[in-house]
């Protein structure tokens, strides 16, 4: 990557040719902003990755439908407060109508509008609110509206999450902007995408939609797919990318340009993934789990995700308890094949288990490491050369409170 | 089953020919009883099911070793406070030495003594305490010591769990007694046994050890394997059964007697499983998840366990929130194959989802049901004829507190 850098206060609208708005339409009882509109001045190539949940929400089904048609997209309408999931045919009709209304008000083709929703499951969409939202948002679309949009898509998030970065390709600047929401229900381990999250990415590069789709899919596996807060997956997970070509920089498949752009896109996606796991509901710590020298990537992945999702490990971290026995137990029941008598575990370099037994580090020393806001648990199987890592978080009283009280 | 009934205040020593003791040796800092000895006056046929965790603890490895030799067993030595897991060769040697010491003090063959441990992982066994424990326990062995033994094997359990039942076979009374410990780390879904638990079962029936092993394995799948508290599995899970034949009732393979005995044994095991899930760390509710009319038992099982282990569902139950959307999401990402548009969900008979959408029941009505201490969530896929059920519990503030503070 040449001259890659993050843009201060960057967002989806840091990318030339994109406008956005965030408004309050009334989907949320709280009165907080709850509708975002993202718009490209010219039709853009687009790609998406979505939840693999069998109860995929209506807007997810609708997005897949229009992406399958192969045309360009020019906007996405996003509401928070009603998920439009488990709403049957009327739900799908509501997503379709939302796109048509937005298209009419924006003066573009109906098939050029994607739709995303997040919020309460099982409630039919309120189309009067959608109309009101569009009437408010369309006139407010602006080339510095990205941060407003990022705020409007939040649900249990405590902070809005927007980012942008630029890099140089063939002497020209290419920009990538993005916003995401997601805090609870975050889980890796399913094909495609694995988090309760919405993410919208903009770029002014000129990229064929199939190339774009391949990059997005692979990068999602190495960013959003590596985070876990509670092991649940949502009905509405959606990541969409729009490439409007305004920079005039063509990124062709199989070139160094493609590799550079993909690496830059991964940095943007990892930045958001990192912030999502740090914003996990009530979590106080970011824990990286690395499993190294496993017999296969699959073994390393099963083992890392088992530790990342272990409620006993996550509550121990909250309690500043290094408790390597719980880590060992989670590795042991993960299904991964390895030799327990060869396994070493260290926390930020401090050995806690050596060859399947106590490393002899005083508990007070290991406890100091676990008190930190961020630390890395490294599990070395000494049994092969395959590696995998995931990001996890702790589980606090606050997590239980948020999820016992928040009626999604 | 003829004349099956539970025995009031029953325990492992309700079964003729068995003695037990529970003493305080000093494994626990709290001064609570922490060592149990169970003894059969005559050598007994025995069988066991164990954790499938790759870091199986030393006593688990030792029990498998002596069971594989095929001889009869006559005692089990159980300590709580030190798990003797992740302790390598010295750990295995400690289990072996524990059995030899017990055998010497009891005047029986070393290979006739099983060993079980529960408690902190990664700490080597304190053999001086084992000696002290045996010196205290052997003289205290008595035919009404079953409840003392049940108390001595507890860790985070809030109540001891012992039970006994009798039934009539060929005009004679056969007794089954049992005790269990287990509250946290309880999880179904792995082959064999799936709970952080110790369970010891006694019977005076005369049953071949292979028949006994088959019954125990199958019954474990339909009792202990159906409970889940937090999705974790322990390094030390052990279920052992001893059949000393003292009743003179021979139970032969393939007979009605076998079916009757097996059914009675299942009742005893389900009784303990039910009480373990009710004693789940900090849990306030027992929730039965039924998945019916699925395409296969495997689909029904994946779906039921997904709901049972969903942290979002479990915190919602704690908050008295019927939240069928979270149930639907957990069914949807479970990996089970089903048609979401045919799926119905009800809670204690109150419909909450019909054909993949809102059933129209006011939330306040469903919330009343979820307020109860026990309720059943029935998920009907209307898509086949296979069924599965599991028991789950809620997750409370108390759960987090116990597991953040308890340094296992």
- pLDDT tens for A361-390 read 998 999 999 999 999 999 999 999 999 999
How far away is chain B from the Cα of A394, in angstroms, using its nearest Cα?
A: 10
Average pLDDT, integer, range A148-174: 95
How many other C-beta atoms can be found within 10 angstroms of the C-beta atom of residue B365?
12
**Chain-centre distance of CA B141, in angstroms?**
24
Using the 8-state DSSP alphabet, how is residue B69 labeled? T
Strand, coil or helix: B153 = coil
The answer to whether residues A408 and A121 touch, using CB atoms and an 8 Å cutoff, is yes
Strand-strand pairing, A350-354 and A18-23: unpaired
Strand, coil or helix: A13 = helix
User: CA B360, B365, B370, B376 torsion: positive or negative?
Assistant: negative
Alpha carbons A195 and A226: distance in angstroms, whole number:
9
Strand-strand pairing, B73-82 and A238-243: unpaired
Q: Which among A101, A97, A114 is positioned nearest to A45, based on CA atoms? A: A114
The answer to whether residues A266 and A223 touch, using CB atoms and an 8 Å cutoff, is yes
Mean pLDDT over the full length of chain B: 91
The answer to whether residues A260 and A169 touch, using CB atoms and an 8 Å cutoff, is yes
The minimal CB distance from B408 to the residues A326, A333, A356 is found for A326
pLDDT, residue A70, reads 92
Cβ B235–A325 below 8 Å, yes or no? yes
Structural tokens at position A194: 């694995």
How far away is chain B from the Cα of A400, in angstroms, using its nearest Cα?
A: 6
Strand, coil or helix: A317 = helix
The answer to whether residues A276 and A154 touch, using CB atoms and an 8 Å cutoff, is no
Cβ A404–B232 below 8 Å, yes or no? no
Cβ B53–A401 below 8 Å, yes or no? no
Cβ A403–B85 below 8 Å, yes or no? no
Cβ A329–B231 below 8 Å, yes or no? no
Nearest CA in chain B to A281: B312
pLDDT tens string B253-293: 999 999 999 999 999 999 999 898 887 666 788 899 999 99
pLDDT tens string A109-151: 999 999 999 988 889 999 999 999 999 999 999 999 999 999 9
> Which residue among the candidates B12, B51, B118, B196 is catalytic per the annotation?
B196
Average pLDDT, integer, range A234-262: 96
For residue A189, is pLDDT > 60?
no
Percent of chain B with pLDDT over 90: 73
B274-283 as b/e: b if 16+ CB within 10 A:
bbbbbbbbbb
Residues in chain B: 408
Alpha carbons A242 and A223: distance in angstroms, whole number:
18
Taking the alpha carbons at both ends of chain A, their separation in whole angstroms is 42
Residues in chain A: 408
The minimal CB distance from A325 to the residues B328, B404, B408 is found for B408
Residue A337's Cβ-count burial label (10 Å; 0-12, 13-18, 19+) is: middle
Nearest CA in chain A to B315: A404
pLDDT, residue B404, reads 64
The answer to whether residues A27 and A81 touch, using CB atoms and an 8 Å cutoff, is yes
**Residue with the larger pLDDT of the pair A395 and A272:** A272
User: Mutual orientation of helices B397-405 and A311-318 as an angle, nearest 10°?
Assistant: 70
Strand segments (E) across A51-92: 73-82
Bridge partners (DSSP) of residue A353 are A345, A358
Nearest CA in chain B to A90: B357
Alpha carbons A228 and A195: distance in angstroms, whole number:
8
Q: Which of B50, B53, B55, B291 to mutate to test the interface with A (most CBs of A within 10 A)?
A: B55
**Residue with the larger pLDDT of the pair A387 and B392:** A387
Percent of chain B with pLDDT over 70: 91
pLDDT tens string B307-316: 988 877 888 8
For residue B230, is pLDDT > 60?
no
Percent of chain A with pLDDT over 70: 91
The answer to whether residues B163 and B271 touch, using CB atoms and an 8 Å cutoff, is yes
For residue B127, is pLDDT > 90?
yes
Helices (H), B311-370: 311-318, 324-332, 363-370
Cβ A121–B51 below 8 Å, yes or no? no
How far away is chain B from the Cα of A190, in angstroms, using its nearest Cα?
A: 8
Helices (H), A171-255: 209-221
> Which residue among the candidates A155, A180, A196, A203 is catalytic per the annotation?
A196
pLDDT, residue B407, reads 47
Verify whether residue B87 is a known catalytic residue: no
Alpha carbons B256 and A282: distance in angstroms, whole number:
56
Query: DSSP states of A322-344 as a string?
Result: --HHHHHHHHHTS-----GGG-E
Alpha carbons A273 and B390: distance in angstroms, whole number:
34
Least confident of A17-21, A309-313, B352-356: A309-313
For residue A280, is pLDDT > 80?
no
Cβ A319–B405 below 8 Å, yes or no? yes
Residue B350's Cβ-count burial label (10 Å; 0-12, 13-18, 19+) is: middle
> For residue A69, what is the enclosing H or E element?
none
Structural tokens at position A206: 């000129």
pLDDT, residue A333, reads 86
Residue B68's Cβ-count burial label (10 Å; 0-12, 13-18, 19+) is: exposed
pLDDT, residue A34, reads 97
The answer to whether residues A13 and A5 touch, using CB atoms and an 8 Å cutoff, is no
Alpha carbons B135 and A291: distance in angstroms, whole number:
45
Residues in A touching B230 (Cβ below 8 Å):
311-312
Nearest CA in chain A to B308: A232
How far away is chain B from the Cα of A171, in angstroms, using its nearest Cα?
A: 45
Cβ A53–B185 below 8 Å, yes or no? no
B305-331 as b/e: b if 16+ CB within 10 A:
bbbbbbbbbbbbbbbbbbbbbbbbbbb
The answer to whether residues B196 and B186 touch, using CB atoms and an 8 Å cutoff, is yes
The answer for residues whose C-beta is within 8 angstroms of residue B341's C-beta and 6 or more apart is: A88, B355, B356
Q: Which among B399, A107, A127 is positioned nearest to A115, based on CA atoms? A: A127
Using the 8-state DSSP alphabet, how is residue A195 labeled? S
Average pLDDT, integer, range A60-67: 97
Average pLDDT, integer, range A210-223: 95
Alpha carbons B201 and B241: distance in angstroms, whole number:
4
The answer to whether residues B206 and B251 touch, using CB atoms and an 8 Å cutoff, is yes
Bridge partners (DSSP) of residue B200 are B179, B240
The answer for residues whose C-beta is within 8 angstroms of residue B269's C-beta and 6 or more apart is: B178, B199, B201, B219, B220, B222, B223, B224
Residues in B touching A329 (Cβ below 8 Å):
53, 55, 85, 121, 185, 232-235
pLDDT, residue B231, reads 52
The minimal CB distance from B53 to the residues A85, A311, A333 is found for A333
Cα angle value B373/A319/A375 (rounded, 5°): 130
Residues in A touching B124 (Cβ below 8 Å):
358
Nearest CA in chain B to A310: B232
pLDDT, residue B281, reads 65
User: Mutual orientation of helices B58-68 and B88-106 as an angle, nearest 10°?
Assistant: 60
pLDDT, residue A97, reads 98
Using the 8-state DSSP alphabet, how is residue A394 labeled? -
For residue B186, is pLDDT > 70?
no
Average pLDDT, integer, range B231-235: 70
**Residue with the larger pLDDT of the pair A277 and B172:** B172
Structural tokens at position B104: 């010497």
pLDDT confidence band for B401 (50 / 70 / 90): low
For residue B125, is pLDDT > 50?
yes
Residues in A touching B393 (Cβ below 8 Å):
none
The answer for residues whose C-beta is within 8 angstroms of residue A180's C-beta and 6 or more apart is: A150, A161, A162, A197, A198, A199, A200, A272, A275, A276
How many other C-beta atoms can be found within 10 angstroms of the C-beta atom of residue B172?
12
Strand, coil or helix: A204 = coil
The minimal CB distance from A88 to the residues B323, B324, B357 is found for B357
Alpha carbons B238 and B252: distance in angstroms, whole number:
25
Cβ A185–B312 below 8 Å, yes or no? yes
| CA A235 to each of CA A80, A109, A160, A353, B328: distance values in angstroms, whole numbers, following the listed order | 14, 27, 21, 39, 9
Structural tokens at position A78: 């996003």
Alpha carbons B291 and B334: distance in angstroms, whole number:
12
Alpha carbons B404 and A315: distance in angstroms, whole number:
5
Helices (H), A238-362: 256-278, 297-309, 311-318, 324-332
Average pLDDT, integer, range B389-399: 80
């Amino acid at each position: 990557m040449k001259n890659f850098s993050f843009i201060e206060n960057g967002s989806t609208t840091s990318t030339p040719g994109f406008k956005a708005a965030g408004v309050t339409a009334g989907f949320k009882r709280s009165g907080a902003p709850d509708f975002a509109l993202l718009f490209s001045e010219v039709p853009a190539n687009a790609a998406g990755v979505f939840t693999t949940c069998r109860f995929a929400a209506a807007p997810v089904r609708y997005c897949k439908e229009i992406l399958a048609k192969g045309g360009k997209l020019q906007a996405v309408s996003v509401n928070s407060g009603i998920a439009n999931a488990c709403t049957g045919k009327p739900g799908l009709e509501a997503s379709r109508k939302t796109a048509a209304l937005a298209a009419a008000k924006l003066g573009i083709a109906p098939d050029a509008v994607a739709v995303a929703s997040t919020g309460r499951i099982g409630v039919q969409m309120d189309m009067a609110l959608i109309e009101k939202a569009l009437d408010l948002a369309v006139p407010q679309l602006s080339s510095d509206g990205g941060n407003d949009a990022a705020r409007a898509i939040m649900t249990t998030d405590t902070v809005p999450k927007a980012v942008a970065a630029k890099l140089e390709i063939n002497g020209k600047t290419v920009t990538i902007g993005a916003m995401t929401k997601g805090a609870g229900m975050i889980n890796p381990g399913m094909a495609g995408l694995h988090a309760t999250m919405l993410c919208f990415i903009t770029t002014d590069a000129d990229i064929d939609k199939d190339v774009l789709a391949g990059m997005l899919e692979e990068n999602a596996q190495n960013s959003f797919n590596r985070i876990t807060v509670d092991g649940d997956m949502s009905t509405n997970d959606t990541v969409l990318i729009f490439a409007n070509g305004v920079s005039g920089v063509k990124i062709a498949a199989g070139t160094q340009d493609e590799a550079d752009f993909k690496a830059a896109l991964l940095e943007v996606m990892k930045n958001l993934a990192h912030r999502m796991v740090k914003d996990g509901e009530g979590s106080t710590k970011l824990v990286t789990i690395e499993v190294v020298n496993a017999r296969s990537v699959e073994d390393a992945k099963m083992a890392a995700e088992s530790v990342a999702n272990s409620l006993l490990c996550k509550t121990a971290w909250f309690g500043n308890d290094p408790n390597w026995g719980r880590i060992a137990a989670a590795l042991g029941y993960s299904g991964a094949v390895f030799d327990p008598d060869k396994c070493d575990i260290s926390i930020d370099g401090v050995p806690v288990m050596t060859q399947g037994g106590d490393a002899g580090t005083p508990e007070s020393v290991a406890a100091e490491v676990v008190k930190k806001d961020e630390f890395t648990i490294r599990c070395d199987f000494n049994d092969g050369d395959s590696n995998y890592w995931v990001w996890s978080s702790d589980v606090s009283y606050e997590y239980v409170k948020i999820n016992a009280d928040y009626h999604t």
